[in-house]
Amino acid sequence: MDFFVSGWSVLPAAFILDLILGDPLRLPHPVRLMGRVIQMAEPRFRRLPFNPILCGGLLAGFLIPATWLLAWLALKLAFLFYPLVSYLLEVVLVYYCLSARSLATAAREVGQALESRDLNTARQKVGLIVGRDVDGLSRTGVAQGAVETVAENFVDGVLAPLFFAALGGAPLALAYKMVNTLDSMVGYKNEAYIAFGRVAARLDDGANYLPARFSVVVIGLGSWLLFGRFRTSLRTALQEGRNHSSPNAGLPEAAFAGALQARLGGPNIYQGQLVDKPFIGLSFDRPGPEKIKPACILMLVSSTIWVFTVSAVLFFA
């Protein structure tokens, strides 16, 4: 097996590992390391004698290739030592790029708090996984935040990492996670980052373009298996998926809205300011706590469909 391109069995092995272990908080994690590296590197690149857009572009242009190169070298050295070690390392590195179990666990903890009528705890729990202000959220608002997070993060937490791992092994999957992490840390549309984070945000949009569109079909298939709503999911995604400021995030969110028959999106408060976002799934009601568990199951079933799809393509290629 070539150390550079994932064998067909790497992807399901990494996915199963994620389902078993989830996010190992007590172990070193490459994605958390990426966050710390970005924090350390940002001030240095901001001090460069160029305009903020170029400084942010240089930050991304340095960290993304460096991430790919380090992963490539690690696999190359492991392969030279013993091919099986390279294979196992690649499984672990791809596993670190996935977050299916941790995403489902976080959302279900919100649902459990809501079922216990503990709104304050539910707000605290959902505040860990959403970017909006949570202090004033109602039970419905908290539930909607959890469902939306599951829908939006299905792509960057599962589908896209596996897509890039299939194309270029763990190095490309980790490079994608660096793109994703840069966007989450410097890709804000506020005064501090609107210029500096522009390149990171555009790179993230580009990297997620194809995965977001693949997700519509994958979520539709998961919806068909679970609820018999393939057409509803697909139609909602095609008709309302563009009702979002992101060119990509609205598509999986709309597919989930159709599958769960839940109205998502709408106005929310971010950093004290009301952001008037359009609704997605206008013909449905806003989701209650009872929609959180089905959303998690749909995410896991869709993830499984995608894993076996890309693995089959690699097997027969």
Write out pLDDT tens, residues 267-288: 877 777 777 788 999 999 999 9
Digit-coded pLDDT (tens) for 222-267? 999 999 999 999 999 999 998 887 889 899 999 999 999 999 988 8
With residue 75 as reference, give the H or E element that holds it: helix 52-81
- Quote the distance between the C-alpha of residue 233 and its chain's center: 20
**How many structural domains are present in the chain?**
1
Residue 226 lies in a domain: yes
Dihedral sign, CA of 95, 314, 173, 242?
Answer: negative
280 within 8 A of 243, measured Cβ to Cβ: yes
Residue 3 lies in a domain: no
Residue 75 lies in a domain: yes
Upper half-sphere CA count for residue 231 (Cβ side, 13 Å): 0
Residue 121 lies in a domain: yes
What range defines the domain where residue 86 resides?
10-316
Q: Write out the two tokens for 297.
A: 């199951």
Residue 44 lies in a domain: yes
The model's pTM: 0.93
Residue 2 lies in a domain: no
Residue 162 lies in a domain: yes
Residue 293 lies in a domain: yes
What is the pLDDT at residue 205? 96
226 within 8 A of 297, measured Cβ to Cβ: yes
Tell me the angle at which helices 292-316 and 139-154 cross, rounded to the nearest 10 degrees: 0
Digit-coded pLDDT (tens) for 78-103? 999 888 999 999 999 999 999 999 99
pLDDT over 70 (residue 76): yes
Q: Write out the two tokens for 83.
A: 């091919």
232 vs 236: CA distance, rounded Å: 6
Give the model's confidence band at 4: pLDDT under 50 very low, under 70 low, under 90 confident, else very high: very low
What is the pLDDT at residue 6? 53
